[in-house]
Amino acid sequence: MLYRKLGKTNEKVSVLGFGCMRLPIIGEDQTKIDEEKAIQIIRHAIDEGVNYIDTAYPYHGTSLKTGGESEPLVAKALKDGYRERVKIATKMPCWLIKSREDMDKYLNEQLVRLETDCIDFYLAHSVNAATWPMIKNAGIAEFMDQAISDGRIKYAGFSFHDKVDLFKEIIDYYDWSFCQIQYNYMDEDFQAGTEGLKYAAEKGLGIVVMEPLRGGKLATNLPVEVETIFNNSEIKRSPVEWALKWIWNHPEVSIALSGMTTMEQVVENLKITSSARANSLEKRDFEIFEKVIAVFKERIKVSCTACGYCLPCPSKVNIPGCFRYYNDFYIYGNPETNDPTQSMYFSQVGPKQRASNCIECGKCEEHCPQGLPIRAELKKVKDLFEKSLS
């Protein structure tokens, strides 16, 4: 395992972090984590050198308003001496913060859920134009200072989902130790992007990257054109390796988080870390990326990463599921033929979960980290897949 310093904290962290948002589950219920498998893959990663475990208050829950099952599972996985071998990162649910007292309430609850006296890396979760004024006015700076002073956390940070100008404003507001941004070879100009990456690095912040595989879209079921480009390159790498090496090529990045679900994914990612060095890509590598990016940009309709923040929908619409098959139709299918994606939509998205059930209340858009016009896009999904039913 290779390690890098996490900004001005000077903590040495593994280049691969274990994201606990997509742990193996039993059936289709996200709250029913397969504990045996989850603990097995987390501990295997730690045994192989991973020392950064990332979770959050709502992960593997039924709602953004209640605590999910990820934090308690992490506590179980880190028993038997594993806690002392890792750094825990978790996040304060900013959308639930109304007062300074709320911040202490959730942090103290998370300490209990994680069965630890101190959280190594504590983040304000999913900071954007809506949540930033809320936590700023509630006293986020004073809270972070106090939590560090009394030993409940070691380092303060934030995860970000909005425009780069706001990102810079937040960085300049407080003496953060680190930040977490969405970044991959398809998202150089999205949200904080490369501009924000460099700005944070110049300020000495450690940088943790989420969605390096764009919710798995850069790893599996790639368009034939993309597979051909990779297969015809002189250097043979899997799509996952291409994507992760692009991230680690940036010296500003300390950690790439991967939401690993299976042992096979853990083993593959661990193997790739052996060559996770900054500035290791060459001109020919970037020429490959340019070709691949061009193919994807021509096909993608909705930039949804299936993070689930838009759920639960008051009308029970499976928003990520609708967008998944909508994108799949254009990315992997052939719109000019009788593509099987439509039948997959009807078989995998239940009648009450389909786009036609949207009542346009807009609650999903309030929570969407990508700032997507979800209501307008769901109309397009309806027109594509459900027009024949009307």
Q: Phi and psi for 210 in degrees, rounded to 5?
A: -105, 160
Q: 178 near 150, Cβ under 8 Å?
A: no
Measured over the CA atoms of residue 306, residue 308, residue 310 and residue 316, the dihedral's sign is positive
Provide the pLDDT for residue 335. Answer: 54
3-state secondary structure of 182: strand
Provide the pLDDT for residue 146. Answer: 98
Provide the pLDDT for residue 307. Answer: 84
Q: How far apart are CA 75 and CA 78, in angstroms?
A: 5
Q: What is the domain partition of the chain in residue ranges?
A: 3-296, 319-389
Q: Left, alpha or beta for 18 (phi > 0: left; psi -120 to 50: alpha)?
A: beta
Q: 204 near 313, Cβ under 8 Å?
A: no
Provide the pLDDT for residue 389. Answer: 61
Provide the pLDDT for residue 337. Answer: 52
293 C-beta neighbours (distance < 10 Å), count? 14
| DSSP bridge pairs for 208 | 180, 255
Provide the pLDDT for residue 390. Answer: 52
Q: Phi and psi for 155 in degrees, rounded to 5?
A: -135, 145
What's the average pLDDT block by block, 10 residues per block, for the chain (390 residues)? 95 97 92 96 98 97 90 98 98 96 98 98 94 96 98 98 93 98 91 96 97 85 89 92 96 96 96 94 95 88 86 93 88 58 81 95 92 96 82
**Beta strand 153-160 pairing with 178-182:** parallel
Which CATH superfamily includes the segment(s) 3-296?
Answer: NADP-dependent oxidoreductase domain (3.20.20.100)
Nearest alpha-carbon partner for 309 in 350, 364, 266: 364
* Amino acid code (one letter) for 64: L
Provide the pLDDT for residue 336. Answer: 53
